[in-house]
Chains A and B, each alone.
Chain A
Amino acid sequence: MNPSEAPPPPFEIPDIVTYAIPGFVLLILIEMIYIRVTGRGRYEARDSAGSLLMGFGNQIMGLLLGGVAVAGYYLVYHFRLSTIPWTWWSLTLCFFGEDLAYYWFHRIAHERRWFWASHVIHHTSQHYNLTTALRQTWTGTLSLSWIFWLPLVWIGFPPAMVLMFSAISLVYQFWIHTETIDRLGPLEWVMNTPSHHRVHHATNPKYLDANYAGVLIIWDRLFGTFVPEDANEKPRYGVISNLGTFNPFRVATHEWIGIARDVASAKSFGEVVGYLFGPPGWSPDGSRKTSASIKAAWAARQPGASAASVAAE
């Protein structure tokens, strides 16, 4: 468990996210002015304050706890299967591997309540603009969200290489949080774009649980979770039960508190497991809404919906 075990990078890796921050600020200011002038998009000062404070808290938590994830990477790297050098082919493979790991992290973060409790924060704004990109979790490290990248370092990719591509992915995903950019032609086939990510942030039943991509949309197309934006159905942003507060502490912890209350009321070990690792909205009697039940109810309301197709949902 020693960083010196890993082959050193042939170049100095900059602090990619820190260097990107001035660009983030500039683009947010440009987007605000553009929306003020054109009306294409929405901003609300208190919502933006909430998003930016969540990003600020995420930065503080990264300073306090980020070392835990890095230590975890190096611990697993110590038991690696091979030692992969820094070469063009390993960088290429790691880029795809990191993006695939992100896809599965992101998908499970939506499908399992334990990870959703951290990730939900990113979805709690009813707006969709560049400040929404900075609305980040405070509890990601504590909830072990970083374990999804461990297979890469176990295979033998240097942790610094994996962290570098994670940072690049994070920076890439900033600009896709906007309503000011429409579709981007052939780029939509392979890249995650504003259009694809608007679908991901939408609560319309037809858009739920779709487009988990980080940089490349190919993973959603491959694993059957791709849904294109429908020009006739404008996305409604937020979560199924939108928060009734801008208070960042309530935003950061509301789902964890909900889990704690549910677990405290559980009548069996099975219920505890269900509340912790079932889909968000799971309940023993099925009385609460899950993505699956919402989509099924929506499908049943569509004109021409047959009993068979509803059952298939």
Chain B
Amino acid sequence: MALPVLVQVGGSAAVVAFMVAVAALLGFRQSARIDAAALERLAREADPDAKVEATFTAPNGAAGLARLADGRVLTARVVGEDTSVRLTPARSLHVRLTRKRLTVTFGDFGFPPLHIALKNTAPPDWIVRLAGDQGEKT
């Protein structure tokens, strides 16, 4: 690879690092937090007809799930200071529950598997059933 190209690529990488550092130094490091109210709001935004029956939020507020009256499940996660959701039929989720962790997997490459550390929080029965229905509870 020619030297000017290497200089161009190296220079660009340095500029990227510099600008991200400036953004962080200026305090642009906010994180959203998901709670029951946020899940209600996100469900309404995803589908104005959505009726939330039950919610479960991660102890650290970084993710949450809501069960809707029509059998669908809203999964939400924090992405920086914003959130990202998926509203799917319960049967299309792959849920794995252990004593320490809840993992929800989607067939969507843009929404990686969601890992929720449970710490000392016991998930509600509907989450247990969701995992149990798929024979994944361990």
Tell yes or no: A25 within 8 A of B by CB: yes
Tell yes or no: B110 within 8 A of A by CB: yes
Name the CB-closest residue of A to B25: A45
Name the CB-closest residue of B to A59: B12
Tell yes or no: B20 within 8 A of A by CB: yes
| Contact, CB under 8 Å: A250 / B112 | yes
Minimum CB–CB distance from A87 to chain B (whole Å) comes to 33
Tell yes or no: A90 within 8 A of B by CB: no
| Contact, CB under 8 Å: B28 / A44 | yes
Tell yes or no: B82 within 8 A of A by CB: yes
Minimum CB–CB distance from B88 to chain A (whole Å) comes to 10
Tell yes or no: A277 within 8 A of B by CB: no
- Residues on B with C-beta less than 8 A from A247 are 112
Cα distance A21–B13 when bound, in Å?
13
- Residues on A with C-beta less than 8 A from B5 are 63
Tell yes or no: A272 within 8 A of B by CB: no
Choose among A28, A44, A250, A251 the residue that contacts B19 (Cβ–Cβ < 8 A).
Answer: A28
Number of A-B contacts defined by CB within 8 Å: 107
Interface residues contributed by chain B, number (CB under 8 Å): 34
Given the known A-B contacts A32-B22, A44-B80, A45-B23, are A244 and B111 also in contact in the complex, defined by CB atoms under 8 Å? yes
Name the CB-closest residue of B to A249: B109
Cα distance A28–B19 when bound, in Å?
8
- Residues on B with C-beta less than 8 A from A36 are 26-28
Cα distance A127–B82 when bound, in Å?
9
Tell yes or no: B69 within 8 A of A by CB: no
Tell yes or no: A291 within 8 A of B by CB: no
Tell yes or no: A143 within 8 A of B by CB: no
Of A36, A44, A238, most B-chain CB atoms within 10 Å? A44
Q: How large is the interface on A (under 10, 10 to 19, 20 to 34, 35 or more residues)?
A: 35 or more
Segment at the B interface, from A46-54, A151-159, A183-191:
A46-54
Tell yes or no: A254 within 8 A of B by CB: yes
| Contact, CB under 8 Å: A245 / B29 | no
| Contact, CB under 8 Å: A257 / B26 | no
Tell yes or no: A60 within 8 A of B by CB: yes
- Residues on A with C-beta less than 8 A from B85 are 242
| Contact, CB under 8 Å: B20 / A52 | yes
0/1 interface trace, chain B 67-100, chain A, CB 8 Å (1 if under): 0000000000101111111100000000000000
Choose among B15, B27, B81, B110 the residue that contacts A250 (Cβ–Cβ < 8 A).
Answer: B110
**Chain A: residues with CB nearer than 8 A to chain B?**
18, 21, 25, 28-29, 32-33, 36, 42-49, 52-53, 55-56, 59-60, 63, 126-127, 131, 238, 241-247, 250-251, 253-255, 257-258, 261, 301
18 contacts between A and B (CB under 8 A): A21-B12, A25-B15, A32-B23, A32-B28, A43-B23, A46-B80, A47-B80, A48-B23, A242-B82, A243-B79, A243-B110, A244-B77, A244-B112, A245-B111, A253-B109, A254-B110, A255-B110, A257-B109
Q: A21-B12, A43-B26 are in contact. List 19 more A-B contacts (CB 8 A).
A: A32-B23, A36-B28, A43-B28, A44-B29, A44-B80, A45-B24, A47-B82, A49-B20, A52-B20, A56-B16, A59-B9, A60-B9, A241-B110, A242-B82, A244-B86, A245-B79, A257-B109, A258-B108, A301-B48
**Chain B: residues with CB nearer than 8 A to chain A?**
5, 8-9, 12-13, 15-16, 19-20, 22-24, 26-30, 48, 77, 79-86, 107-112, 114
